[in-house]
Amino acid sequence: MPELPEVKTIQDQLNAIMPFRIQRCSLSRVADSIVHTPMDHLVGRSLLRVERKGKLLDFILDDGRHLLSHLGMSGGWLIASEWITTKHTHVQFTSDSGYLGYVDPRRFGHMYLYDEPRAAAKLAELGHDLLAPEFTARYFKASLLRYPQRAVKVSLLDQSLFAGTGNYIANEICAHARVLPHRLVQSLSTREINKLYRAVSTVINGTITRGGVAFGGGYRDTKGDKGTGVQNLVVFYQQECQLCKKTPVVKTILGQRGTYHCPRCQK
């Protein structure tokens, strides 16, 4: 699933072609599993800019409405100068300047067209974005401690607390903070909570710099590139810990998600 660094990369690339006036909207035969709004309402409108909160892209229209796009497990946007023929393109916008297509092989993504109040309400369901100024050490600690009986990684994945985290990010945050992902929040010291907070920036910014992380046939940016963020991973999908360089990584299941840790580095 595209996580914050991947969605941020896509957002930045989309904003480079804004504004985008939609002259035509084409849908695949199975687009109704993704699109939950009449897309013909967009014809003649302009996408002014793309904002983001967590993993949710927010296309701002010239009439004040919002097209919210969640990429799900395998979704992404492509920018092209010619008609997009990529397999699994389910939504395609045409303008004088080119083409913009939503591609989603597994079709777990979603799109909604909302007015301002409904969009604001939807975005308010999310906690602070990991890159937002409001995402402070105080906010992080208070949010984490709301659920003391939870495992650390489970709370890190809670989008109502921390908008933008996903499985690989949560694993990597715990690794960089030297904290076992299975630890209960109530067992953490203040020093460990601060280390977790600092690790958020390390993981997020390091991955954004490399254009995101792709696994197999998953994430691609708007140019079809995978990004090289996989080179930054220290435990996730690793055979050996890339921090100590000598300990086999242990994989377990926590909250039905694959969870990776180094038994030497993390306590």
Over residues 129-167, the pLDDT tens digits come to 999 999 999 999 999 999 999 999 999 999 999 999 999
Could you tell me if residue 124 is left (phi over 0), alpha (psi between -120 and 50 degrees) or otherwise beta?
alpha
Q: What's the average model confidence in pLDDT over 192-215? A: 97
pLDDT at 218: 80
Report the CATH number that the domain containing residue 72 is assigned in CATH.
Answer: 3.20.190.10
Q: Is the pLDDT of residue 205 over 90?
A: yes
pLDDT at 254: 98
Q: Is the pLDDT of residue 184 over 80?
A: yes
Q: Which residues are part of the catalytic machinery?
A: 2-3, 55, 257
Which of 96, 124, 152 is where one domain is finished?
124
Alpha-carbon distance of 82 to 95, in angstroms, equals 11
Shared domain for 89 and 185, answered yes or no, is no
Over residues 12-51, the pLDDT tens digits come to 999 999 999 999 999 999 999 999 989 999 999 999 999 9
Shared domain for 160 and 198, answered yes or no, is yes
**How many domains does the structure of the chain reveal?**
2
Domain that holds residue 240: 128-261
Q: Is the pLDDT of residue 92 over 80?
A: yes
Shared domain for 21 and 118, answered yes or no, is yes
pLDDT at 215: 86
Q: Is the pLDDT of residue 217 over 80?
A: no
Residue type for position 216: G
Shared domain for 149 and 65, answered yes or no, is no
Strand duo 66-70 + 46-53: pairing: unpaired
Residue 76 lies in a domain: yes
Residue 66 lies in a domain: yes
pLDDT at 1: 87
Residue 224 lies in a domain: yes
State in Å, rounded, how far the first CA of the chain is from the last one. 28
pLDDT at 165: 98
Alpha-carbon distance of 12 to 52, in angstroms, equals 10
Over residues 40-87, the pLDDT tens digits come to 999 999 999 999 999 999 999 999 999 999 999 999 999 999 999 999
> How many CB atoms neighbour CB 107 within 10 A?
17
Report the CATH number that the domain containing residue 166 is assigned in CATH.
Answer: 1.10.8.50
Share of the chain above pLDDT 70, in %: 100
Which of 124, 142, 173 is where one domain is finished?
124
Shared domain for 159 and 225, answered yes or no, is yes
Alpha-carbon distance of 214 to 20, in angstroms, equals 27
pLDDT at 226: 92
How confident is the prediction for the chain on average, in pLDDT?
A: 97
Q: Is the pLDDT of residue 216 over 80?
A: no
